[in-house]
Amino acid sequence: MEKIFIIEDDEIVAEIYKDKLEAEGYRVVVAHDGETGYSRLAEFAPDLLLLDLMVPKLAGIELLTRLRGSRDFSSLPIIAFSGSEELLAEAKRLGATRTLSKDEYVPNQIVARITEVIASLRKVGDSDELFTSTSAWVPPSGRILIVEDDPIIMQLVKDVVVEEGYNAVCAPNGGDAFRILAKDSVFAAGIFDVKMPAIQGTDLLRHMQSEKRLSKIPVLIMTSEQSMAIQAESFSAGAAIFLPKPFTRVALREMFRALVSKKPKQSRTGPSLN
């Protein structure tokens, strides 16, 4: 039985989540402030944390920062939710597994998202048993850097990445991605759009090839410009896979699996819908 820890200061809302999740067969514990929640996490050793970012005593963002800096909880799946888009963006930057807006999701929908995340985690690994007595869950090969300025495509790519058991780190443009890579090189792979503000995907890829610490990260390049010249430029810049837009979810999943395999094929091109 998977264990879910809820940190939510609204007692009525917390009880709704608890009742619905227990009805789904989960074991649930609730804390109504950040300090209490933080102190009880190690004892309960949850498989997933549902974290309200606006709780008293120890704010959700500070709590998330502590957890991601802790060896015991650095990989704990965390769903952060709030009515503040600014807080949600910060939570995503700090490594929340998924962020949900209270303005867009009612409790039933949040419970459904929890179920989806847990279902995706169950698929990870060679055995059927994913959850253990430890609190930390480690994705099969770590994190994926997604760089895409179209929010709809970004969400699609992120969903596939998470469903495959990886953590997604998202950047809306090449400039933000460049700043991320300047500080962090621990990525299993990257998925970049070509045409973006500030720095284009192929230019970002060329920069990665020039730095030893980044050069071995396999990158999938995707673009709506399907000319042979763009494809050739992408492979010349160092792309492992070229995926033309528009693409289906199935095609994206296939190409992603090829990307994170041990030997990504340098010449492979994904199918398009045209």
Summarize pLDDT for 36-64 with one digit per residue, the tens.
Answer: 999 998 888 888 899 999 999 989 899 98
Confidence of residue 271 (pLDDT cuts 50, 70, 90): very low
268 versus 24: the higher-pLDDT residue is 24
Nearest of 6, 86, 4 to residue 45 by alpha carbon: 4
Residue located via tokens 């094929």: 265
| Distance, CA of 261 to CA of 246 (rounded, Å) | 23
| Distance, CA of 143 to CA of 56 (rounded, Å) | 31
Query: In the CATH scheme, what is the code of domain 3-122?
Result: 3.40.50.2300
Residue 185 per-residue DSSP state: -
| Distance, CA of 140 to CA of 82 (rounded, Å) | 29
- The neighbouring-strand residues paired with 6 are 30, 50
Q: Residue 190 above 80 pLDDT?
A: yes
| Distance, CA of 37 to CA of 8 (rounded, Å) | 9
Q: Residue 123 above 60 pLDDT?
A: no
- The neighbouring-strand residues paired with 241 are 220, 268
pLDDT 10s digits, 215-255: 889 999 999 876 788 888 999 999 988 888 888 888 898 88
pLDDT 10s digits, 50-101: 999 999 998 989 998 888 877 778 778 898 888 888 888 888 888 888 888 8
- Residue 189, helix vs strand vs coil: strand
10 versus 122: the higher-pLDDT residue is 10
- Domain ranges within the chain, ordered by starting residue: 3-122, 143-269
Confidence of residue 139 (pLDDT cuts 50, 70, 90): very low
| Distance, CA of 194 to CA of 196 (rounded, Å) | 6
Residues 6+ apart with CB under 8 A from 194: 200, 201, 202, 221, 222, 223, 225, 230, 234
Averaged pLDDT for residues 1-8: 88
- pTM score, whole prediction: 0.48
Q: Residue 148 above 70 pLDDT?
A: yes
Rounded to the nearest 5°, which phi and psi values hold at 79?
A: -100, 115
CATH topology of domain 143-269: Rossmann fold (3.40.50)
| Distance, CA of 198 to CA of 100 (rounded, Å) | 28
Averaged pLDDT for residues 140-157: 86
Same fold, 3-122 and 143-269: yes
Instruction: Note whether 65 and 74 are within 8 A (CB).
Output: no
Rounded to the nearest 5°, which phi and psi values hold at 157?
A: -65, -45
What's the one-letter identity of residue 154?
M
149 versus 120: the higher-pLDDT residue is 149
